[in-house]
Structure 1
Amino acid sequence: MKKAKLQAATVGGTPDDVEQAFYEALHNADIQQLMACWAEEDEIVCVHPGGPRLIGAGAIRQAFESMFSNGSVQAHPERIHKIESLASAVHHLVEKVDVLTPQGAQTAWVLATNVYHKTPQGWRMVAHHTSPGTQHDVADQGHQAPVLH
């Protein structure tokens, strides 16, 4: 990702810009880019599948540094549903994660909720919560196409 694009994504921009920068940082194992997506608040929170609740930038940074020590994370956001207002946005999505195992390349599915707030520095992530999913989670339940009357 170009520096100008990262700056636009984290200082101003939109929640979509920050989300794109976040997933690019995962793909590139770039801890600086990843942490630039987060708000500068004490109560930011991150939960990885089966993991503890990580509160604050220090705990979040340490967890992602540990993940990146094993390489990049090839998580691809799909089926994004958004709720947005003037100062906050919630994106719920399915992450398709490419995982290299002893048996070869595998696909894992993760359900994710990303929460963004508009801060004085622009839109920033304040929560990233993930839980294990399955391939069946790609098909949403209870979602109906809007009906115009």
Structure 2
Amino acid sequence: MVSRAKVPVAIFGSPDDIEAQFYEALQRGDIDKLMAVWSDDDEIVCVHPGGPRLVGATAIRASFEAIFSNGVVNAQPEQVRRVVSLTSAVHNLLERVEVLSEEGPQAAWVIATNVYVKGAQGWRMVAHHASPGTPQEVQEIIEAASTLH
């Protein structure tokens, strides 16, 4: 059983509220606030860019503790695409991550998918999957809607 500190999370907040708290926690290196956005479900999952699938709160917490031991993660969510139903939401987005290089701070891009489920505690994250990005902004390919005449 993972001990979780009580961090205020809106009981019936929206997926957007939970996502904002997730990225704020990354930017502050706040492990307790970060873990508070996750569901209590045993099957929650997280995949960091190029990393293995982490299942469960203990594995996810340990991975973020290791990341925070190297400093905060300055990731900003951008270009969010949302699919929302009454009890679930899927957000696909670009994360603009500031990384330090020999030339100074630079932006790198990660493609991420965050999945949220609404339960007794309100909205909570059940999956975060981040794919390796590029030094340049990721381009989108958008299919134009077809119109029947």
Q: TM-score by structure 2 length? A: 0.88
Counterpart check, 1:7 vs 2:9? yes
Cα deviation 1:17-48 (Å, max 9, x = unaligned): 00000000001000000000000011000000
Counterpart check, 1:98 vs 2:98? yes
The answer to whether the Cα contact below 8 Å between 2:9 and 2:37 also exists between their aligned partners in 1 is no
Query: What is the DSSP-based 3-state SS (H/G/I as helix, E as strand, rest coil) of the residue aligned with 2:42?
Result: coil
The answer to whether the Cα contact below 8 Å between 2:108 and 2:137 also exists between their aligned partners in 1 is no
Q: 1:145, CA displacement in angstroms?
A: 7.3
Aligned equivalent of 2:110? 110
* Bigger mean CA deviation after superposition, 98-107 or 111-120: 98-107
Q: 1:119, CA displacement in angstroms?
A: 1.3
Aligned equivalent of 2:130? 130
Separation of aligned partners in 1, 2:65 and 2:146: 42
The answer to whether the Cα contact below 8 Å between 1:27 and 1:75 also exists between their aligned partners in 2 is yes
Q: Which runs of 5+ in 1 are unaligned?
A: none
Q: 1:132, CA displacement in angstroms?
A: 1.3
Change (3 A) 1:122 1:72: same
Separation of aligned partners in 1, 2:37 and 2:145: 32
Q: 1:144, CA displacement in angstroms?
A: 3.8
Aligned equivalent of 1:30? 30
Separation of aligned partners in 1, 2:146 and 2:77: 23
Separation of aligned partners in 1, 2:9 and 2:43: 23
Separation of aligned partners in 2, 1:143 and 1:74: 31
Which structure is higher in helix share? 1
1:20 maps to amino acid? A
Counterpart check, 1:45 vs 2:45? yes
Q: 1:107, CA displacement in angstroms?
A: 1.2
The answer to whether the Cα contact below 8 Å between 1:47 and 1:128 also exists between their aligned partners in 2 is yes
Aligned equivalent of 1:84? 84
Change (3 A) 1:102 1:119: same
Query: What is the DSSP-based 3-state SS (H/G/I as helix, E as strand, rest coil) of the residue aligned with 1:39?
Result: coil
Q: In angstroms, what is the RMSD of aligned CA positions?
A: 2.0
Change (3 A) 1:140 1:56: same
1:124 maps to amino acid? R
Matched residues, percent identical?
59
Q: 1:102, CA displacement in angstroms?
A: 3.9
Separation of aligned partners in 2, 1:97 and 1:146: 35
